[in-house]
Amino acid sequence: RLRQAQKNNDTQTGKFSITSLPVHLTVSPAAERLRYILGDDEDTMPTPTLFTEMDTLQQEDDELEWRESARWVKFEEKVEEGGERWSKPHVSTLSLHSLFELRTCLQTGTVLLDLEGYSLPQIIDDVIERQIEEGLIGPELRDKISFVLLRKHRHQTKKPIHRSLADLGKSGSGVSECSIFISPSIPTHTSRSMNDIADTPSTDQLKNKFMKKIPRDAEASNVLVGEVDFLEKPFVAFVRLSQATTLGGLTEVPVPTRFLFVLLEPPGKAKSYNEIGRAIATLMVDDLFSDVAYKARDREDLIAGIDEFLDEVIVLPPGEWDPKIRIEPPKKIPSADQRKSVFSLNELGQMNGTAGGGGPLGEELAYTGRFCGGLFLDIKRKLPWYLSDIYEGFHIQSISVVLFIYLGCITNAITFGGLLGDATDNYQGVMESFLGTALAGTVFCLFSGQPLIILSSMGPILIFEKLLYEFSKNNGIDYMELRLWIGIHSCVQCLFLVATDASYIIKYMTRFTEEGFSSLISFIFISDAIKKMVGTFKYYPINIDFKPDYVTAYKCECLAPDTSKSILGIDLNWTNTLDWTQLSKKECVKYGGSLVGKSCKYVPDLALMSFILFFGTYTMTVTLKKFKFSRYFPTKVRPLISDFSIFMSIMTFVGLDMLIGLETPKLIVPTEFKPTRADRGWFVMPFGKNPWWVYLASSVPALLVTILIFMDQQISAVIVNRKENKLKKGCGYHLDLLWVGFLMVACSFMGLPWYVAATVISIAHIDSLKMESESSAPGEQPQFLGVREQRLTGILVFVLTGVSIFLAPILQFIPMPVLYGVFLYMGVASLSGIQFWDRIKLIMMPAKHQPDFSYLRQVPLRRVHLFTLVQIVCLAVLWILKSTFLAIIFPIMILGLMVIRKMLDMVFSQHDLAWLDDILPEKEKKKKEDEKKNTKKDKKKGKGGDDSEDVSVLVARLFKERHRLLGFK
């Protein structure tokens, strides 16, 4: 094995392979060493974020001082002394030579790990003492080195705007950041204090606003690089303190120091040594190397960390890019977990990352096999979070969310209520829609398993109600009583599904089904918003023939009818008493007069104004929503504008509408609390109006309603609960379905519409409640932390919906086109993040302009387009059926999508489906079983000699023996 290792040795990279071992165990010596450093303690706390500051030795008025030249939290910021400011954060570009020299410095210099340090003079004395003991410097240099290292530190701080001419003159004589002054000879006997650095943080340090960019538990690493003339060879020291200690004025911000790197060198190579300082500073903020620095046991561990860093470094040819250009930080930084997973004992040999699928849905959908087993687990899971679900809603972000979702809900309630009134002859209307939305939504948000879901009515329910009313009317059956029994049967069927853990089948709904369903609902929102705007143009046509120059010729008169004739035998002589010239247009038509004149058909350009309100609301909302990534205004203001973007857009265009004063169509809200139809009450009696057999026969249509509600509710819940949203409080599929069933009975007894999860509004609710990190590093995009999981926003939305009948005087000023713009935004926003929509756009892009999606690297483009085409055809079929009376079989269409997804296993390989979709549960289970079998086989093959010896230990011994034979240290 050792001979084979030597044959495969690569002297330049230090990598070799051992052919007798499994392929997945072939790693570099550095990676093998880091595997033991980072992989031993899986339960240890994560290492703190490091703030790194680099100071260079400068000379000011014949005095030495350490001047801050650069800093790192994630990306590099340089001091631009000419502009007296910090540079923009940028990716550090290091020379390969500086990394090799840094490696040499750590090999030859002093490395002190877990040093007990309480002050900078004590730490420096210990470092110098160690250098003297190791024979690296002579005792006569002790005072000189200590004197230099204890000079004061000048940090880059904001200067006042109003400055004197003398200060302006001084700024012109600044020194370049790369210039490191050669100090004069340090006298042995000096009158100055040996310790010139402050022992405690200064006022400027304590008030530095940059602290907001650094996490609270952060620690500092300080890099000191200087050039002195009393040294013949470099003085190098790397120190890790056992406990982070605040070292006075050493750091720009009052962050305790954990690491200290000192490099003092003879004159002549200032730029080269400055690059070594930048190299160690960049390494210290690297996620992987910082872990190594915290857990290193000796010098060789640190060198292994550098070697692994070198393995992953990418070199840019000098003639093919401009080194003066600073590389902008990427919008999305790849996770360091994939790099670290290579060194984990448990994950060795696995892929660096997973395929693009959403993965398993979790234990919430596990089949228990017990009566109401899933329901009891849901209650047990959600009960401990109940109090936090209330108090975590008290946040300023919740205000904007409530206003946004409230306007979406009342618009939907009014629209659906109006259509329902037309379909059922006002047995259910706008008032019932408002009351039902408020009742069902409030109860669901109070007691459900996933309160982020918003309940609403939907199109298939409307079609079912219409067909049910026509059937009842044609067969002499009381509609409300029949509807009540359908609701009772449907509730019983939902309870049966809950008791038997039937929600388990949701595991078979992969991304293919979810995206088809959510895309259909999103397109319905978009098309309805556009359709309503087109209808406005038909109702208020634009006056194309109007000519302003002939305005004097435009007039309209009301002529009295001919009194000699009568209409249907009615005498019209009484109309002679009217002054026909003073009548309005409506009165003239009402009393039988005729309108004569060119301007009689004139209407204001309300359609154009409505379009401005519609498109303006949508455009302004999209623009302000992205404002958090803008360069304008302070950091705290930008997220605030983004959160309140919808409210600001609505208020802006409501104000514009009021300013212009045109009679655009306004929101109509009921003003009295009473049923829409006068001959019905608020309670439906279950017996007395229909034959007895109707009570039993109603179970058949109830089955269709149950399937419809089950599929819609659970698919919406799966979309809301996807792992991309980082929900931490779990979900409750069974508990949600239980309350939807109970609410169906309650709404049926009160004659109110039925309600189920609204996909688009729920997605909008989730997006509005997303949280991002407040203290992101300079240049780093705010990190998505998850969703503000609480019940308060939903409860307030539906309570406001219920009291809207008392807010009619205020709501009547909101133009309907503004709310249509909100609808359009909700539909478009819900499409973002859907892989299906991204793949549709790929069809129209040339290959060279396509984004670098991960699945495009793994799956041929023709296969991607084929998968997308199948989804487009399914969506088109769903759309066609939705637009006809066949929409009543909507739940069967969703089941059809699951069948089609099952058939795709015969067309696409499991590899392709793993990247384009989710693998079905049986396939996933079989795949894991195969992996376990292969792992066991590999372990058996890897064992030899002593059976108690792990194959990893064997590999480590081989590496050690190889180094010994090759003469490596």
d(CA 353, CA 344): 13
Lowest mean pLDDT among 226-230, 938-942, 949-953: 949-953
Q: Which CATH architecture has domain 53-73+89-157+199-328?
A: 3-Layer(aba) Sandwich (3.40)
Q: Is the separation of the CB atoms in 306 and 37 below 8 Å? A: no
Confidence band for 282, pLDDT divided at 50, 70 and 90? very high
Average pLDDT over residues 249-255: 84
Identify which of 354, 214, 303 has the alpha carbon closest to the alpha carbon of residue 778.
Answer: 214
Q: Is the pLDDT of residue 961 over 60?
A: no
As a whole number, the mean pLDDT across the chain is: 75
**pLDDT tens, 286-297?**
888 888 888 888
Taking residue 316's Cβ as centre, other Cβ atoms within 10 Å add up to 10
Assigned token pair, 631 = 């360069």
Amino acid code (one letter) for 168: L
CA distance 724 to 784: 10
Tokens of 572: 């019209």
- In which band, very low, low, confident or very high, does the pLDDT at 933 lie, cut at 50, 70 and 90? low
Give every CB contact of residue 216 below 8 A, 6+ residues apart in sequence: 775
CA distances 609 to 529, 533, 592, 825, Å, are 16, 11, 33, 19
What would the mean pLDDT of 221-231 be, rounded to a whole number?
89
Q: Is pLDDT larger for residue 547 or for residue 318?
A: 318
Of residues 942 and 529, the one with the higher pLDDT is 529
- Which residues are within 8 A (CB) of 845 and not within 5 positions of it... i.e. 6 or more apart? none
pLDDT at 698: 83
- Beta bridge partners, 224, equal 55, 262
- Model confidence at 939: pLDDT above 60: no
Q: Which of 25-34, 322-331, 611-620, 884-893 has the highest mean pLDDT?
A: 611-620
Burial of 815 (0-12, 13-18, 19+ CB in 10 A): buried
> Torsion angle, CA of 687/692/695/700, rounded to 10 degrees?
-160
Task: Answer whether residue 357 shows pLDDT above 50.
Answer: no
Amino acid 239: pLDDT = 92
Residue spans of alpha helices (H) in 448-543: 459-474, 479-499, 511-539
Amino acid at 905: D
Higher-confidence residue of 155 and 353: namely 155
Q: Model confidence over 835-869: pLDDT tens digits?
A: 888 888 888 888 777 787 778 878 888 888 888 89
Q: When comparing pLDDT for 657 and 591, which is higher?
A: 657
Q: Is the pLDDT higher at 233 or at 956?
A: 233
* pLDDT > 80? residue 202: no
Beta pairing partners, 327: 91
The domain limits of the chain are 53-73+89-157+199-328, 390-537+614-831
Look at residue 80 in the predicted model and tell me its pLDDT. Answer: 81
Lowest model confidence (mean pLDDT) among 22-31, 133-142, 143-152 = 22-31
Please give the Cα distance from 404 to 402 (Å, whole number). 6
* pLDDT at site 562: 65
Question: Could you tell me which of 50, 71, 47 has the C-alpha nearest to residue 218?
Answer: 50
- pTM here is 0.63
Q: Is the model's pLDDT at 116 over the cut of 80?
A: yes
Q: Which of 177-181, 228-232, 653-657 has the lowest mean pLDDT?
A: 177-181
Q: Residue for token digits 């679900």?
A: 389
Q: Which of 108-117, 264-273, 687-696 has the highest mean pLDDT?
A: 108-117
Are 393 and 788 a contacting pair, CB within 8 Å?
yes
Average pLDDT, integer, range 2-11: 40
Residue 176: pLDDT band by 50, 70, 90 thresholds?
Answer: very low
pLDDT for residue 908: 85
Higher pLDDT among residues 63 and 27, named by residue: 63
The angle formed by the CA atoms of residues 800, 806 and 811, to the nearest 5 degrees, is: 75
Q: What percent of the chain has pLDDT over 90?
A: 4
The identity of residue 133, as a single letter, is E
Per the model's pLDDT, the better-predicted residue between 317 and 955 turns out to be: 317
Q: Report the relative pairing of strands 110-115 and 235-245 from DSSP bridges.
A: parallel
Write the pLDDT tens digit of every residue in 543-581: 666 666 656 666 777 877 765 554 444 454 555 566 666
pLDDT at 182: 40
Rounded Cα–Cα distance for residues 29 and 733 (Å): 49
Out of 95-104, 405-414, 777-786, 799-808, which region has the weakest mean confidence (pLDDT)?
A: 777-786
pLDDT at 692 over 50: yes
Closest CA relative to residue 762, chosen from 320, 498, 409, 415: 409
Q: Does 1 score more than 50 pLDDT? A: no
Mean pLDDT over 50-64 rounds to: 85
Of 55-59, 421-425, 511-515, the one with minimum mean pLDDT is 421-425
CA separation for the pair 802, 435 (Å, rounded): 6
Tokens representing residue 54 in the block: 């680099």
pLDDT(349) > 60: no
For 93, which DSSP code?
Answer: -
Confidence (pLDDT) at 785:
78
Question: Which is it for the CA torsion 521, 523, 527, 530, positive or negative?
Answer: positive
